[in-house]
């Protein structure tokens, strides 16, 4: 079961982290969504409406800026609903796939990990 949550501290931490590594994000073709206090306030008041669930025990934190999505072992993901190149559900599924296959991709580069994960997503369809 996925537990959808919002926590202002997590949101701000992820925005600050993304600011610190935005050069790496750009170099690795990862979406960077700049902090925006108005978007943070909007997310505090109105969370995305999503019905997607899975059998895995996952905590999904909404963030208002940073990157589109991230995963943190053992069972936490962050998702920015401002990401426009993918749907929120697609981002959630992608980050959960990362969690499931992390042990297989630990020594890979970011690009290799993404290709591996996308391959697993396509084969699951």
Q: Tens-digit pLDDT profile for the chain (125 aa)?
A: 999 999 999 999 999 999 999 999 999 999 999 999 999 999 999 999 999 999 999 999 999 999 999 999 999 999 999 999 999 999 999 999 999 999 999 999 999 999 999 998 888 76
Quote the CA–CA distance of 77 and 4 in Å, as a whole number.
10
How many domains would you assign to the chain? 1
Quote the CA–CA distance of 120 and 11 in Å, as a whole number.
29
Tokens of 70: 């991230």
Quote the CA–CA distance of 77 and 87 in Å, as a whole number.
15
Q: Sign (positive/negative) of CA torsion 15, 76, 48, 26?
A: positive
65 vs 10, 31, 45, 81, 98, CA distance in Å? 11, 10, 15, 9, 20
- Whole-model pTM: value is 0.94
Question: Quick one: pLDDT at residue 124?
Answer: 78
Question: Quick one: pLDDT at residue 122?
Answer: 86
Domain of residue 32 covers: 2-124
Quote the CA–CA distance of 65 and 24 in Å, as a whole number.
16
Question: Quick one: pLDDT at residue 120?
Answer: 87
Tokens of 112: 């290799």
């Amino acid at each position: 079961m996925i537990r959808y949550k919002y926590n202002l501290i997590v949101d701000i931490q992820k925005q600050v982290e993304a600011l610190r590594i935005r050069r790496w994000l750009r170099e690795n073709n990862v979406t960077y969504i700049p902090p925006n206090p108005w978007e943070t306030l909007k997310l505090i008041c109105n969370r995305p409406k999503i019905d997607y669930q899975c059998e895995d025990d996952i905590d999904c934190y909404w963030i208002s800026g940073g990157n589109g999505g991230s995963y943190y072992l053992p069972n936490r993901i962050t998702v920015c609903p401002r990401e426009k190149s993918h749907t929120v559900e697609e981002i959630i599924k992608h980050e959960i796939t990362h969690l499931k296959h992390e042990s297989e991709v630990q020594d890979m580069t970011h690009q290799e990990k993404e290709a591996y994960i996308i391959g697993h997503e396509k084969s699951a369809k």
